[in-house]
Structure 1
Amino acid sequence: MSGLNPAGYAQQLDEKVARLKALLAPFDAPAPDVFESPREHYRMRAEFRLWREGGQRHYAMFSPGDKRTPILIEQFPVASARINELMPQLKAAWQADEVLDHKLFQVEFLTTLTGEALITLCYHRPLDTRWEQAAHALAARLGVSLIGRSRGQRLVIGQDHVTERMTVAGRTFSYRQPEGAFTQPNAQVCGHMLNWAHEVLGQREDDLLELYCGNGNFTLPLATRVRRVLATEISKTSVAAALHNLADNAVDNVTLVRLSAEELTQALNGVREFRRLQGVDLAAYAFGTVFVDPPRAGMDPQTCELTRRFDNILYISCNPETLAANLAQLNDTHQVVRCALFDQFPYTHHMEAGVLLTRR
């Protein structure tokens, strides 16, 4: 890919550090801890459209805003070594088998640090028993799970998820990552994020409120640092994965409720009651810290006001601009005492940041 320039990585990272420092300067933030990415093979997932040229289908990507000019790809160095290993094998398979090739238009890869792989094949046609037979043989040959998708169909060969493993402070956690659900794409940088959050939270004797918990990515290690956790997530798929991950890792001090951050704010303010909170005594929690990992838009003003109630706010952000906007709202009551830059997306302008705020 044209944007991949390992020789220029250090300079680009320095520019990101400077940009983050400038964004956090109004809040007297300390110098950030900086966590680099591997230069290559850092993305655990990749998605390709297929483009027909010369009588064959090829992996293709497109520049933003241009869906007519494909960039044909044979290898994808930003993706994991496992994805790069599988790409030519899969291409050879569909080229050799009309059943696999016919009206195939998109391929998605999901892999782990240990080499587990799930491939999703998307079609503009119904999938029949002939396709299933070919897919079973292909999955066995490649050592992967396969999912076939077409309108109204989802056929699973093997498993519909992979299991990632992350080691935090010497303990290894397993994470079920379902097809189609959000996961951190850069697994090695994700490991840095988990260890940093675990460290700055510290060992505590009170409780943690977590908003936007996803599949329990941060929940599992942070739960080992506090008495109890109340975690919220709105996505049913992510909630199901988080519940599995809590059970699989024998983490038993977490209560997970399917609420949005806005709904939880309403519940804590006594504005609304939710059946999904039946049996949960909010008043029994002694929250010392709130942990948030919001979407790119950041926290809405009401949720931001909610976090102000807590002595400690641990905030992971995928958009430092909206992080800065939220910090401006919190700056009169809280100060930034730790911050970090996580280079989740090298060779792009995107970066992840973390801050710990304490009450002034």
Structure 2
Amino acid sequence: MSVPFDPTSYSHQLAEKTTRLRELLAPFDAPEPQVFDSPREHYRLRAEFRLWRENQQRFYAMFVPGNNHTPILVDDFPIASQRINDLMPLLRERWEASATLNFKLFQVDFLTTLADDAIITLCYHRPLDDVWQAVAEQLAADLNVCVIGRSKGQRIVIGRDYAIEELEVAGRTFSYRQPEGSFTQPNGAVNQKMLNWAFDALGQRDDDLLELYCGNGNFTLPLATRVRKVLATEISKTSVNAALSNLADNGVDNVTLVRLSAEELTEALNEVRPFRRLWGVDLKSYEFGSIFVDPPRAGMDPDTCELSRRFERILYISCNPETLAANIAQLHDTHRIERCALFDQFPYTHHMESGVMLVRR
């Protein structure tokens, strides 16, 4: 079966989200939000499926949250990218025809990109041997994908362990390595709109930018072209390595990236304590005019929120409008909302991505 969704309800759902964001930001005299919609289908670039065994066959399966016993068997997945939908039946044919691929296979993950790259991750409850690798190598060649095999204590990579994405911002195409198993924006079309909005909101500056939670450099690459130099932070080693590769691949050479959490960088800037990971970085050499933050759902912690108050401009992308509003409440006496936007990364759900540009009063 197909996973049920109703494209005819999309406009109504988006209007409800817009109203919700407008109400959350109303206490701060926010302007009317710009609204960036999503494709109605084939927008999600990632998908994870458990495999369900029935009548001696394995099927792609999903579950209602909280119920792991009643599967929804899936033949196609219209919210996922066309590439995922094309690969699903081809992969199923291969595991049905191969005992080596099929034996104790329990999960399949897909990662695709707007650039039409793809990784398939096959997860097993058994060790993977040379026979499996030979079969998987043929699978990768036939489907024109990278394949990663995972079992307890094993990770076998056939091809690359990252997908290649290409996103256009203000007429320039940026190339991104997106590592398997790490966070990437799920809705590529909306992500591209989000990058262009942030690029335009920041404007061309002659001072420096501090970026917290930079991930694989999704925003770092285009925003670095708008400022003199960037100090960016990220705590995940995988994301840091991907970001460094992305900076090099795109010839962006005005970014210093340090592996620190937002809380640790706040302590460093407040001279609470030194960090060996900042060795050789002269924090006093930066003339920060703007800070860019894209925090997790919990938002910025109070100390980081206070740190951001020092900057003339605060560019804030949020995956949780409630914590965004709570952070703005802490900043409202010194900063006002100049621009705001809604990015519909997650159609047919209550989740939304939003952005604000705060400027000093």
Same fold (TM over 0.5): yes
Counterpart residue number, 1:26: 27
Task: Name the CA distance, whole Å, in 2 between partners of 1:84 and 1:16.
Answer: 28
Q: How much has 1:2 moved relative to structure 2?
A: 5.4
Task: Name the CA distance, whole Å, in 1 between partners of 2:346 and 2:179.
Answer: 22
Give per-residue Cα distances to partners, 1:145-194, cap 9 Å, x unaligned. Answer: 10000000000111111110000000000000010010000000000000
Q: Is the 8 A contact 2:3 2:74 kept in 1?
A: no
Q: Is the 8 A contact 2:3 2:78 kept in 1?
A: no
Give per-residue Cα distances to partners, 1:238-271, cap 9 Å, x unaligned. Answer: 0000000000000000000000000000000000
Q: Is the 8 A contact 2:342 2:354 kept in 1?
A: yes
Counterpart residue number, 1:170: 171
The one-letter amino acid of 1:99's match is T
Counterpart residue number, 1:78: 79
Counterpart residue number, 1:106: 107
> Aligned to 2:341, what secondary structure does the other structure show?
strand
Counterpart residue number, 2:333: 332
Task: Name the CA distance, whole Å, in 2 between partners of 1:261 and 1:196.
Answer: 23
Counterpart residue number, 1:59: 60
When the two chains are superposed, the root-mean-square deviation of aligned CA atoms in Å is: 0.7
Task: Name the CA distance, whole Å, in 1 between partners of 2:286 and 2:158.
Answer: 44
Q: Is the 8 A contact 1:233 1:257 kept in 2?
A: yes
1:63-212 correspondence runs (5 A)? 63-212=64-213
1:280 paired to 2:281 = yes
Counterpart residue number, 1:45: 46
Q: How much has 1:207 moved relative to structure 2?
A: 0.2
Counterpart residue number, 1:6: 7
The one-letter amino acid of 1:228's match is K
4+ residue segments displaced more than 6 Å: none
Q: Is the 8 A contact 1:209 1:287 kept in 2?
A: yes
Task: Name the CA distance, whole Å, in 1 between partners of 2:259 and 2:45.
Answer: 27
1:356 paired to 2:357 = yes
> Aligned to 1:265, what secondary structure does the other structure show?
helix
> Aligned to 2:328, what secondary structure does the other structure show?
helix
Q: Is the 8 A contact 1:3 1:347 kept in 2?
A: no
The one-letter amino acid of 2:268's match is A
User: Which segments of 5 or more consecutive residues in structure 1 lack a partner in the other structure?
Assistant: none
> Aligned to 2:194, what secondary structure does the other structure show?
helix
The one-letter amino acid of 1:268's match is L
Give per-residue Cα distances to partners, 1:204-225, cap 9 Å, x unaligned. Answer: 0000000000000000000000
> Aligned to 1:313, what secondary structure does the other structure show?
strand
The one-letter amino acid of 2:7's match is P
Counterpart residue number, 1:229: 230
> Aligned to 1:175, what secondary structure does the other structure show?
strand
Task: Name the CA distance, whole Å, in 2 between partners of 1:323 and 1:230.
Answer: 23
Give per-residue Cα distances to partners, 1:298-337, cap 9 Å, x unaligned. Answer: 0011110110010100000000010000011111110001
The one-letter amino acid of 1:26's match is P
Give per-residue Cα distances to partners, 1:265-299, cap 9 Å, x unaligned. Answer: 00000001000001101011000000000000100
Task: Name the CA distance, whole Å, in 1 between partners of 2:166 and 2:327.
Answer: 32
Aligned length: 360
Q: How much has 1:74 moved relative to structure 2?
A: 0.4
TM-score normalised to structure 2 length: 0.99
Q: How much has 1:54 moved relative to structure 2?
A: 1.3
Task: Name the CA distance, whole Å, in 2 between partners of 1:280 and 1:87.
Answer: 47
Q: How much has 1:115 moved relative to structure 2?
A: 1.4
Q: How much has 1:114 moved relative to structure 2?
A: 2.2
Q: How much has 1:3 moved relative to structure 2?
A: 5.0
User: Which segments of 5 or more consecutive residues in structure 2 lack a partner in the other structure?
Assistant: none
Counterpart residue number, 2:291: 290
Task: Name the CA distance, whole Å, in 2 between partners of 1:2 and 1:160.
Answer: 28
